[in-house]
Amino acid sequence: MEQNGALTPTDEHELAEAVAGAAGPLRVQGGGTRTYAPVEGDTLSVAGLSGITLYEPGALTLVARAGTPLADIEAALAAENQRLPFEPMDHRAILGTEGTPTIGGAVAVNASGPRRIVAGACRDSLIGVRFVDGTGTIVKNGGRVMKNVTGYDLVKLMAGSHGTLGVLSEVSFKVLPGIETTVSLRLDGLSPERAVAAMAAALGSPYEVSGAAHVPVGPDGAPVTMLRLEGFEASVAYRSQKLRALLEPFGDARIDEMAGREGGTDPGWRWVRDAEMFGGGSGALWRISVKPSDGPRVAAALPDGKLLMDWAGGLIWAELDETFDVRAALSEIPGHATLVRASDTARARFGTFHPAPAPVAAISDGLRAKFDPRGILNPGLMG
Amino acid sequence: MEMPAPSPTILSHKARIVQRLLQVLPEDAVIHAPEETRAYECDALTAYKCPPLAAVLPASTAEVSDVLRICSEEGVPVVPRGSGTSLAGGALPTADCVILGVARMNDVLETNYADRYIRVQTGRTNLSVTGAVEEDGFFYAPDPSSQLACAIAGNIGMNSGGAHCLKYGVTTNNLLGVTLVLMDGTVTEIGGAHLDAGGYDVLGVICGSEGQLGVVTEATLRILPKPEGARPVLIGFDSNEVAGACVSDIIKAGVLPVAIEFMDRPCIRATEAFAGAGYPDCEALLIVEVEGSDAEIDMQLGVISQIARRHDPVELRESQSAEESARIWLGRKSAFGAMGQINDYICLDGTIPVSELPRVLGGIKDLSAQYGLDVANVFHAGDGNMHPLILFDANKDGDLEKAEEMGADILRLCVEVGGCLTGEHGVGVEKRDLMEAQFSPADLEAQLRVKDVFDPAWLLNPAKVFPLSVTASRRVAAE
């Protein structure tokens, strides 16, 4: 199970042996497309743990080994007219990585797209995990049913832990029915304040808006605000007219029917989901999470740079000069800022993840020490 | 129910402990007279009772912090309590514990419609959270059947669900942030009004930890705009298998109902006798509810009815009005009350993969014959969360024990087919000793390690969730 110096187990037992037998730090990888920061150590790839192990469309349940390519999962779901609810983003554009995104990688970074505002994050659809902790012990938590409060919820803890608490071997999801029709409403020329107000109005309506994004400098150089509706054709037609009327104070919304769905996301929304406008860029790329109405304050507190607001203003992607201290500039605004892409210098200065309050940091350190007592899983990556 | 022997040291220090609590709380917030502590001797699992050493009713996070610091210094176990509606014995005291009730903390602290959240003190009842925002067109989605009485604190402790989870998720999916007080009195904020965690998802672990990691005093909850409308369709079948297949086909057809409720014949008959909702006398009954505008509802109900007709229903009734909807829901909503009228019962809470429904219903029937106890089934079919009600006679010697044994067998069956012991009630003391049926020693050890981090002295909500044999070495070490 060794290939080009990398550990490449092909099943859970080999994975457990690889971790138990590791002499030093491990760089844990799925497809290697989502690693925010470089990690020193021997590569441990779970790409060999691949395949859907259970899919019951009638129960909205899918279970897959962690190394299964995301594309395989999306194809299997599409064949039954179903989808992953959380619309996981593809990090390859912004990180400049190559390789095959895996489902385990999506879980490890809790990757969630524009639909997060209505369907929840990856962690909300994740109903079970199997993983190998830092001692090489196999652990399961949750399961394959969507209502389960048996014991502590380590499923959520594993989602977004970037492989630092354990190496995922298998993940289970609640999935959702596919989408018949998608429509986007576009408003032009709004300031961030007006755009966030328009998005709040839309999300406060009963019309089930499934995407709300704003870009101050859009592809044509002007501000664009996008709202998305999904569902059965007649229902979407009805809701788009209602929503258009509701948004009248913000301008005359154009209604665009979407064509060419790919993996449940049309190209316009994929552009938002994957933060494509930052692909190939230089400078530090920050991912800032605040309450949506604080979005305009964030925009105002940052220097000139490229900006994308998703989640109705609550998720802000910002590409800025590497020397700018985003966390200091936003210290008065509750939330957090993650340095997703940066030079080694900027990363050394700011760190990847937002420092937590002391008690939470102590809990996080304590959890890590319990799950990985030797400190060998992606050392240095989270805190 | 085996509980650890109370600590003679703590019992002998009662006067001092009460004195210290009185230094940080008003006199009426410290309950210590034996005739008064009895009010806290059990929760809704009334088969088990034990008056606590004392009960305290703090009115603020600062007071909660003071109480926990004192109990921590004195080595006194603390049992957090919301409204005491747990069916799993989640708030069952030990004789040497202090009950920490959050009932006096029930304020709304902030409502924010632009960002769609409400911040409340956790003693507030579930239904009154919706009550605070419904005039403005919003609601709080998780709706456990005890929602009139149950507190948000308990909802967070047990990660409560309800009938509408299929679309809206359970508590953890609607919880944005908490104020958490650790056992040593430390107060910290976790999460907030923003959507995701900056580091580890500590909030996700706290939700559903049954009050064993800390005391949650304030919570930021996601609120949602009310749908334009909602209406159900009632479908009767002459076999459980066919009803189960119909559920699966509805889900596969791309419709996502907000609720799919299932009742079997014993339950239908009992509720009919009690509430007279006009249900057909059939083997299985589904209530499927959808939301949207009138036209959207008609369209979705049309799709569902079309699927149902392929399964030869004995009755199919689409609601056309609020009155008809209320009538369809009437029987379901009075099901537990109806069963209580005719019998004592134990309400189980296992979850199964929807596809295993016929097999599990068959298995329950066999167990029912074997134990000689009747079972009525009413449950959330969309998500596989079953609530078999085992009927017994509390006045008959040994009947409760027999019912409990049968309940354990049903839950083992749920696990065997790929499900779990509890879908929304929690483990508490009730299912504590069954945990090893679902989890390996390594699975449990991973959970215990989390407890070690948050509560190293093992003082919070003792003797719950894990079998005593599994936690013995830790409890001894902490003493």
**Quick check: is B338 in a domain?**
no
- Give the per-residue pLDDT at A262: 45
**Quick check: is B412 in a domain?**
yes
**Quick check: is A18 in a domain?**
no
Question: Which candidate from A150, A153, A234 shows the least CB-CB separation from B207?
Answer: A153
Close Cβ partners of A11 (under 8 Å, ≥ 6 residues apart): A48, A49
- Whether A260 has a pLDDT exceeding 60, the answer reads no
Residues A266 and A280 both lie in one domain: no
Quote the domain boundaries for residue B363.
Answer: 343-416
Q: What amino acid occupies position A198?
A: A
Under the banding of pLDDT at 50, 70 and 90, the label for residue A264 is: low
Task: Indicate yes or no: CB of B253 within 8 angstroms of CB of A177.
Answer: yes
Task: Indicate yes or no: CB of B435 within 8 angstroms of CB of A145.
Answer: no
pLDDT (average), residues B265-283: 92
CATH code, B78: 3.30.43.10
**Quick check: is A281 in a domain?**
yes
The token pair that represents B228 in the structure block:
């334009």
**Quick check: is B2 in a domain?**
no
CATH code, B322: 3.30.70.3450
**Quick check: is A196 in a domain?**
yes
Nearest chain A residue to B247 by CA distance is A58
Strands of the sheet containing A42-45, edge to edge, are A2-3, A6-7, A42-45, A26-29
- Whether A256 has a pLDDT exceeding 90, the answer reads no
Going by C-alpha positions, the residue among B300, B303, B298 that lies closest to residue B321 is: B298
d(CA A222, CA A306) in angstroms, rounded, equals: 13
Residues B254 and B352 both lie in one domain: no
Residues A117 and A65 both lie in one domain: yes
- Whether A267 has a pLDDT exceeding 90, the answer reads no
User: Final residue of a domain: which of A273, A298, A323?
Assistant: A273
User: Final residue of a domain: which of A241, A273, A305?
Assistant: A273
Residues A239 and A325 both lie in one domain: no
User: Final residue of a domain: which of B373, B388, B416?
Assistant: B416
Q: State whether residue A155 is helix, strand or coil.
A: helix
Residues in chain B: 479
The token pair that represents A294 in the structure block:
């604080």
- Give the per-residue pLDDT at A162: 97
Residues in chain A: 383
Residues B399 and B446 both lie in one domain: no
Close Cβ partners of B281 (under 8 Å, ≥ 6 residues apart): B265, B268, B269, B272
A155 contacts on B by Cβ (under 8 Å): 204
Task: Indicate yes or no: CB of A160 within 8 angstroms of CB of B296.
Answer: no
User: CB-based contact (8 Å) between A329 and chain B?
Assistant: no
pLDDT (average), residues B44-54: 95
- Whether A219 has a pLDDT exceeding 90, the answer reads no
Under the banding of pLDDT at 50, 70 and 90, the label for residue B13 is: very high
Shortest Cα–Cα distance, B292 to chain A (Å):
8
pLDDT (average), residues B247-272: 92
Residues B132 and B169 both lie in one domain: yes
Residues B143 and B208 both lie in one domain: yes
Torsion angle in degrees (nearest 10) through CA of A222, A228, A234, A238 = -70
User: CB-based contact (8 Å) between A169 and chain B?
Assistant: no
Torsion angle in degrees (nearest 10) through CA of A84, A86, A92, A97 = -80
pLDDT digits (tens, 9 = 90+) for B337-390: 888 888 899 999 999 998 898 899 999 999 999 999 999 998 888 899 999 999
Q: Which residue has the tokens 């009938």?
A: B163
User: Final residue of a domain: which of A255, A273, A291?
Assistant: A273
Shortest Cα–Cα distance, B371 to chain A (Å):
26
- Whether A263 has a pLDDT exceeding 70, the answer reads no
Do residues A161 and B200 make contact, with C-beta atoms less than 8 angstroms apart?
A: yes
d(CA A150, CA B208) in angstroms, rounded, equals: 8
β-partners of residue A229 are: A183, A209
How far CA B184 is from CA of B171, B180, B371, in Å, comes to 26, 11, 47
pLDDT digits (tens, 9 = 90+) for B192-230: 999 998 999 999 999 999 999 999 999 999 999 999 999
User: CB-based contact (8 Å) between A234 and chain B?
Assistant: yes
- Whether A243 has a pLDDT exceeding 90, the answer reads yes
pLDDT (average), residues A266-279: 93
Residues A158 and A60 both lie in one domain: yes
Q: Which of residues 218-257 of B touch A (CB under 8 A)?
A: 225-228, 247-249, 251-256
**Quick check: is B336 in a domain?**
no
Task: Indicate yes or no: CB of B172 within 8 angstroms of CB of A206.
Answer: no
**Quick check: is A296 in a domain?**
yes
**Quick check: is A361 in a domain?**
no
d(CA A121, CA A115) in angstroms, rounded, equals: 8
Close Cβ partners of B243 (under 8 Å, ≥ 6 residues apart): B235, B237, B262, B283, B284, B285, B286, B311, B381
**Quick check: is B274 in a domain?**
no
What's the structural domain count of chain B? 5
- Whether A39 has a pLDDT exceeding 70, the answer reads yes
CB-facing half-sphere around the CA of B443: CA atoms within 13 A: 19
Residues A116 and A170 both lie in one domain: yes
d(CA B288, CA A163) in angstroms, rounded, equals: 41
Task: Indicate yes or no: CB of B200 within 8 angstroms of CB of A367.
Answer: yes
**Quick check: is B138 in a domain?**
yes
- Give the per-residue pLDDT at B336: 82
pLDDT digits (tens, 9 = 90+) for B303-315: 999 999 999 999 9
The token pair that represents A71 in the structure block:
């594309």
Do residues B465 and B428 make contact, with C-beta atoms less than 8 angstroms apart?
A: yes
d(CA A257, CA A123) in angstroms, rounded, equals: 30
Residues A163 and A210 both lie in one domain: no
pLDDT digits (tens, 9 = 90+) for B440-458: 999 999 999 999 999 999 9
User: CB-based contact (8 Å) between B460 and chain A?
Assistant: no
For residues B175-195, one letter each, b for 16 or more C-beta atoms within 10 angstroms of the residue's C-beta and e for the rest, the string is bbbbbbbbbbbbbbebbbbbb
Do residues B349 and B162 make contact, with C-beta atoms less than 8 angstroms apart?
A: no
pLDDT digits (tens, 9 = 90+) for B52-78: 999 999 999 999 999 999 999 999 999
- Give the per-residue pLDDT at A99: 94
Other Cβ atoms closer than 10 A to B222: 21
Backbone angles phi, psi at B235, to 5 degrees: -130, 125
Residues B453 and B468 both lie in one domain: yes
Residues B241 and B294 both lie in one domain: yes
- Whether A153 has a pLDDT exceeding 60, the answer reads yes
Q: State whether residue B324 is helix, strand or coil.
A: helix
Residues B173 and B257 both lie in one domain: no
- Whether A1 has a pLDDT exceeding 90, the answer reads no
Going by C-alpha positions, the residue among A114, A65, A64 that lies closest to residue A86 is: A114
Of the two residues B146 and A141, the one the predictor is more confident about is: A141
- Whether B14 has a pLDDT exceeding 90, the answer reads yes
Residues B66 and B134 both lie in one domain: no
Residues B21 and B84 both lie in one domain: yes
B170 contacts on A by Cβ (under 8 Å): 147, 149
The per-residue DSSP string of A277-311 comes to GGTT--SEEEEEEE-GGGHHHHHHHSPSSEEEEEG
A333 contacts on B by Cβ (under 8 Å): none
Name the average pLDDT for chain A.
Answer: 94
**Quick check: is A7 in a domain?**
no
Shortest Cα–Cα distance, A159 to chain B (Å):
7
Residues B25 and B84 both lie in one domain: yes
Mutate to test the interface with B, among A77, A127, A147, A378 (most CBs of B within 10 A): A147
**Quick check: is A363 in a domain?**
no
Q: Which of residues 34-93 of A touch B (CB under 8 A)?
A: 56-61, 80-81
Under the banding of pLDDT at 50, 70 and 90, the label for residue A5 is: confident
Nearest chain A residue to B453 by CA distance is A366
Backbone angles phi, psi at B168, to 5 degrees: -105, -5
A148 contacts on B by Cβ (under 8 Å): 351, 420, 422-423
pLDDT digits (tens, 9 = 90+) for A159-184: 999 999 999 999 999 999 999 899 99
- Give the per-residue pLDDT at A2: 64
- Whether B238 has a pLDDT exceeding 60, the answer reads yes
Residues A46 and A156 both lie in one domain: yes
Nearest chain A residue to B425 by CA distance is A149
B411 contacts on A by Cβ (under 8 Å): none
What's the structural domain count of chain A? 3
User: Final residue of a domain: which of B76, B101, B126?
Assistant: B101
Residues A203 and A256 both lie in one domain: yes
CATH code, A142: 3.30.465.10
Strands of the sheet containing B259-264, edge to edge, are B315-318, B230-237, B284-291, B259-264, B375-380, B385-392, B344-347
- Whether A265 has a pLDDT exceeding 80, the answer reads no
**Quick check: is B21 in a domain?**
yes
Do residues B297 and B229 make contact, with C-beta atoms less than 8 angstroms apart?
A: yes
Residues A188 and A285 both lie in one domain: no
A234 contacts on B by Cβ (under 8 Å): 295-296, 299
Question: Which candidate from B195, B200, B205 shows the least CB-CB separation from A152?
Answer: B205
Residues A153 and A189 both lie in one domain: no
Do residues B169 and B176 make contact, with C-beta atoms less than 8 angstroms apart?
A: no
* A&B contacts, CB < 8 Å: 263
Shortest Cα–Cα distance, A168 to chain B (Å):
14
B380 contacts on A by Cβ (under 8 Å): 147
Shortest Cα–Cα distance, A108 to chain B (Å):
11
Question: Which candidate from A140, A157, A289 shows the least CB-CB separation from B443?
Answer: A140
Quote the domain boundaries for residue A328.
Answer: 276-350
Task: Indicate yes or no: CB of A359 within 8 angstroms of CB of B114.
Answer: no
CATH code, A222: 3.30.70.260
Percent of chain B with pLDDT over 90: 88
Other Cβ atoms closer than 10 A to B105: 23
- Whether B423 has a pLDDT exceeding 60, the answer reads yes
Residues B148 and B192 both lie in one domain: yes
Going by C-alpha positions, the residue among B245, B469, B198 that lies closest to residue B354 is: B245
For residues A89-111, one letter each, b for 16 or more C-beta atoms within 10 angstroms of the residue's C-beta and e for the rest, the string is bbbbbbbeeebbbbbbbbbbbbb
pLDDT digits (tens, 9 = 90+) for A303-329: 988 999 999 999 999 999 999 999 999
Residues A126 and A222 both lie in one domain: no
Residues B48 and B63 both lie in one domain: yes
- Give the per-residue pLDDT at A3: 66
Q: Which residue has the tokens 């080994």?
A: A65
User: Final residue of a domain: which of B101, B135, B169?
Assistant: B101
User: CB-based contact (8 Å) between B158 and chain A?
Assistant: yes
**Quick check: is A20 in a domain?**
no
CATH code, B218: 3.30.465.10
Residues A48 and A173 both lie in one domain: yes
Torsion angle in degrees (nearest 10) through CA of A162, A166, A172, A173 = -20
